[in-house]
Amino acid sequence: MALDVVKTLSELVSIPSVNPMGRPVSGPEFYEHRVTDYLQGVFERLKLPWQRQTVHPAQDGLPARENIFCRVEGSRPPAAGGGMLLFEAHQDTVPVDGMTIPPWTPTVREGRIYGRGSCDIKGGMAAMLGAISRLADERPANRPTIVLACTINEEHGFTGATALARMWDAGRDTILPRRPDAAVVAEPTGLQVVTAHKGCVRWKARTHGRACHSSQPHLGDNAAYKMARVLIALEAYARDEVSRVPPHRLCGPATLSVGTIGGGLSVNTVPDLCTIEIDRRLLPGEDDLAAFEQVRQFVAKYPGVNFEVEHQHPYMRGAALGDGPNQPLADSLSAVVRETIGRCEQIGVPYGTDASKIAQDGVPSVVFGPGSIDQAHTADEWLSLAELESASEALFRFACRGL
């Protein structure tokens, strides 16, 4: 029996799966394991084969973080030349700090559903679950084998998507025995088909000084003052230097931003350490480590930065998604979406997704889903129920066409 996508999304929203985003926090709302358990139950009710993949083992009292997969057999088995299509959606959400609505109490009103994750990306996941439940129930002719992969840690590292390729690279897996022929990744795209998006490299930079009592600051070496000069250099890079990278026709310009700053023990102590986090957005074709090194060298040579700046090795490296290899897939999906709702454009977006990780392994990949990025991560996150239903219908029709 096909799933009710609104009911399914309500159930998903009611299960917290907050990504702590690297913060040293704990509590029942953190990590994805409850959603993973819920999905296993759904797959079992649908009588679909499923499998878990441990990405981060349980340790220090924290639960294991696992990808989970299910499979709907196609009209022709992949081993006999049949096509294989991957649907992918991540299980985690961003934190709920500052939300003005109950984050895990799904509320439906005026054609919308409210709650954390409703837009990013449990709505897209519910649309995919609805589509595969119909495929399993109706078994249309010429359908490819569909694998739904629900991954972990998209919001802070893409480690779930990176682990995906290990499933098919080994060649021993029963759910994903080989590389898929194509992939559709769920994100809030407003029912447009994303063919290109930016990548990202993130790292921490530190300035070091010498602590002393604030009543005698001349005896110390203030790391915060040093960082102020580094920030001026980075502002100049963001304003002048990064603009030398030719903009991408769909994604726009490359960018740099400083997102966090911290340091110091107390107001009456001269700080001996100051730390910032840097976010450099990459365009298709850019190399992440080359971009990192360019920033490092620019800061080192900037006037007034006459001291050592410690740039730690990037803790996040996410490639951009380039258009071109995915064009036939994008054209096919766009045609189905236009038939379903009457409109569809192929676009680029400035944010990153799991699609680039999948595409790096040679799988043509596009991004598609209900909702707008403008509603993702917001204080009153919501999703249009009409878009949710349309997305699920489009995915079902797309799968029915075969590959």
Contact criterion met (CB below 8 Å) for 114 and 106: yes
Q: Is the pLDDT of residue 341 over 80?
A: yes
Q: Which domains does the chain have, with CATH numbers?
A: 5-197+320-400 (3.40.630.10), 199-318 (3.30.70.360)
- Written as one letter, the residue type at 133 is S
pLDDT, position 153? 95
The residue to which tokens 């084998």 are assigned: 145
What band does 347 get if pLDDT is binned at 50, 70 and 90?
very high
Contacts of residue 204, Cβ cutoff 8 Å, sequence gap at least 6:
275, 276, 277, 278, 311, 312, 315
More confident residue, 69 or 168: 69
Per DSSP, the residues of 129-188 read HHHHHHHHHH--TTPPEEEEEEES-TTTT-HHHHHHHHHHHHS--SSS-S--SEEEE---
Give the pLDDT confidence score for residue 28 in this predicted structure: 87
Q: Is the pLDDT of residue 270 over 90?
A: yes
Containing 323, the helix (H) or strand (E) segment is none
- For the residues 241-266, what does the mean pLDDT come to? 96
Strand boundaries in 5-97, DSSP class E? 50-56, 65-72, 84-90
What's the N-to-C CA distance of the chain in angstroms? 25
Share of the chain above pLDDT 70, in %: 99
When pLDDT is averaged across residues 114-136 and rounded to a whole number, the result is: 98
CB of 109 closer than 8 Å to CB of 362: no
Of these ranges, 18-27, 73-82, 94-103, the one predicted with the greatest mean pLDDT is 94-103
pLDDT for 29-69, tens place per residue? 999 999 999 999 999 999 999 999 999 999 888 899 999 99
With beta carbons less than 8 A apart as the criterion, state whether 348 and 251 touch: yes
What average pLDDT score do residues 15-26 get?
91
| Mean pLDDT to the nearest integer, 163-177 | 82
pTM summary value: 0.94
CA dihedral 385, 349, 155, 179 (to 10 degrees): 90
Structural contact between residues 79 and 174, judged by C-beta atoms closer than 8 angstroms: no
Query: How sure is the predictor about 357, in pLDDT bands with cuts at 50, 70 and 90?
Result: very high
Residue 402's pLDDT is 81
Report the chain's mean pLDDT, rounded to a whole number.
Answer: 96
**Which segment of 70-84, 201-215, 260-274 scores lowest on mean pLDDT?**
70-84
Q: Which residues contact 187 (CB under 8 A, 6 or more apart)?
A: 120, 121, 124, 194, 351, 353, 367, 368, 369, 373
Pick 208 or 78 by higher pLDDT.
208
Closest by alpha carbon to 69, among 55, 83, 79?
55
Task: State the pLDDT confidence band at 403, using cuts at 50, 70 and 90.
Answer: confident
Region 114-119: mean pLDDT is 98
Q: What is the pLDDT of residues 363-382, one digit of tens each?
A: 999 999 999 999 999 999 99
Which residues does 277 contact at the CB level (< 8 Å), separation at least 6? 202, 203, 204, 205, 258, 259, 260
